[in-house]
């Protein structure tokens, strides 16, 4: 539960730096599979960020190389950038 809360706080803090206006409570709702009605872009950004953090947690022993970085970029920008610009 502590790791889940940490991911939620990380997602809210990191995306707010980039201009995402969602509150910690809205991010918690998104993490629980709800829509908060604040716009596709903002909610997708949070979902993608949480998915990337989950992927990192499951694959943390993997060597970090360019392929890993591009995979994470693709995961974080899914449905936010054109496919050819993602990853």
H, E, C per residue of 32-44: CCCCCCCCHHHHH
Give 15-73 pLDDT, tens digit per residue: 999 999 999 999 999 999 999 988 999 999 999 999 999 999 888 777 889 999 999 99
């Amino acid at each position: 539960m502590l790791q889940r809360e940490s991911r939620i706080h990380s997602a809210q803090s990191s995306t707010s730096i980039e201009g995402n206006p969602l509150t910690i409570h809205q991010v918690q709702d998104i993490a629980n599979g709800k829509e908060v009605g604040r716009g596709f872009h903002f909610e997708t950004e949070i979902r993608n960020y949480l998915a990337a953090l989950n992927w990192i947690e499951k694959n943390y022993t993997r060597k970090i190389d360019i392929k890993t970085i591009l995979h994470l970029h693709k995961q974080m920008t899914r449905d936010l950038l054109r496919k050819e610009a993602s990853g």
